[in-house]
């Protein structure tokens, strides 16, 4: 069974093959209406369950459209409306769904929920974001960087802000794709120790720099994300904003990076909080390419999981 649960759980050569396949499929569709099928429709006869226990715009729509372009059908399920939200175990849900559908994509809270789904499902399971990681996003981000700037290997990527789930997958990608990674943010919001430690053990050039202006020197890419994630309590909002305000990505900060440094944000963004609108809408921002590439990258991930 080939799941897609974590950037670190898929071998680097497979991650590379997924990105190559995503590029091929994107190129092959250039200029085509979005509602048309791909030339190749390997998901014909397949049904994909998309389970959401948290809100989503990009993940929901890009998976749904991607399955349809590949000839398959989708079923979008809200966790709260399923028996899963009313006491049925994950293990039983996994075994039942596996009798109906060919692939499960799940967005949930705890990583353990996703892992249990994968353990008991007899069809592949894809991580559509947990509190801990967001691997589909980072596959789209690596694809996007390389479209604009060529190979990501050896480049310097700086994450400014909360060391959250998206940041964690970026740290893992540093090891798998061979780029240098710098985290800049307040110590209390550092990525969980395990991610940085594992990356260092794997020989990745990972640094932590508390001064954002120093951190971005020489950066090829600066990345921001929301200061309050979906799993963070709203009561922590004011405290987090106060802690993270110095790490806002604005033109002053981008001025310290390389002149052609790209800016990324997985979206949804809170404009003029974690990043200013002039950066988000500026010439080096690729935020909407990232969003588009979710579609292409995830189509390749689904094909990889199903071996088709
Ligand atoms: N970036 C991302 O995953 O967006 P959604 O929450 O809208 O799916
Ligand atoms: N870190 C954000 C990402 C949203 C796509 C969150 O978990 O809410």
pLDDT digits (tens, 9 = 90+) for 95-114: 999 999 999 999 999 999 99
At 26, the pLDDT band (50, 70, 90 cuts) reads very high
Nearest to 267 by CA among 297, 229, 212, 295: 229
**226-255 confidence digits (pLDDT tens):** 999 999 999 999 999 999 999 999 999 999
- Which residues, 6+ apart, have CB-to-CB distance to 178 below 8 Å? 152, 153, 154
Contact 279, 219 (CB under 8 A): no
Nearest to 141 by CA among 165, 162, 169: 169
DSSP secondary-structure letter at 165? H
- Ligand 2: residues with CB < 6 A are 129, 164-166, 225-226, 229-230, 266
Q: Residue 74: in which H helix or E strand, if any?
A: strand 73-78
Contact 104, 83 (CB under 8 A): no
pLDDT exceeds cutoff 90 at 72: yes
Q: Which one of the ligands is nearest to 105 CA?
A: 1
Q: Does the predicted model carry a pTM greater than 0.95?
A: yes
Q: Is the omega angle on the peptide bond into residue 183 within 30 degrees of 0, that is, cis?
A: no
Q: Which one of the ligands is nearest to 141 CA?
A: 1
Q: Which residues are the active-site residues?
A: 107, 134, 137, 225, 266, 294
Pair of tokens at residue 245: 């305000």
């Amino acid at each position: 069974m080939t799941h897609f649960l974590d950037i670190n759980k898929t071998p680097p050569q497979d991650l590379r093959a997924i990105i190559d396949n995503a590029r091929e499929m994107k190129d092959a569709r250039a200029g085509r209406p979005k509602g048309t099928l791909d030339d190749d429709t390997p998901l014909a006869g397949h049904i994909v369950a998309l389970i959401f226990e948290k809100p989503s715009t990009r993940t929901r729509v890009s998976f749904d459209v991607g399955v349809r372009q590949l000839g398959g059908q989708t079923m979008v399920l809200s966790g709260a409306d399923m028996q899963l939200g009313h006491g049925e175990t994950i293990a039983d849900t996994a075994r039942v769904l596996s009798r109906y559908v060919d692939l499960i994509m799940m967005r949930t809270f705890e990583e353990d929920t996703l892992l249990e789904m994968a353990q008991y499902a007899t069809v592949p399971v894809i991580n559509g974001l947990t509190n801990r990681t967001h691997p589909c996003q980072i596959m789209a981000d690596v694809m996007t960087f390389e479209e604009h700037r060529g190979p990501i290997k050896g480049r310097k990527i700086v994450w400014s802000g909360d060391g959250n789930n998206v940041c964690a997958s970026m740290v893992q990608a540093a090891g798998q794709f061979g780029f240098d990674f710098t985290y800049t943010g307040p110590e209390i919001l550092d990525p969980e120790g395990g991610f940085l430690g594992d990356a260092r053990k794997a020989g990745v050039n990972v640094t932590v720099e508390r001064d954002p202006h120093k951190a971005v020197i020489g950066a090829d890419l600066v990345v921001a994300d929301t200061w309050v994630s979906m799993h963070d309590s709203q009561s922590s909002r004011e405290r987090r904003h106060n802690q993270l305000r110095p790490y806002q990505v604005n033109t002053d900060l981008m001025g310290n990076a390389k002149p052609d440094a790209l800016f990324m944000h997985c979206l949804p963004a809170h404009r003029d909080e974690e990043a200013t609108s002039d950066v988000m809408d500026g010439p080096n921002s690729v935020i909407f390419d990232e969003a588009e590439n979710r579609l292409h990258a995830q189509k390749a991930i689904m094909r990889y999981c199903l071996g088709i």
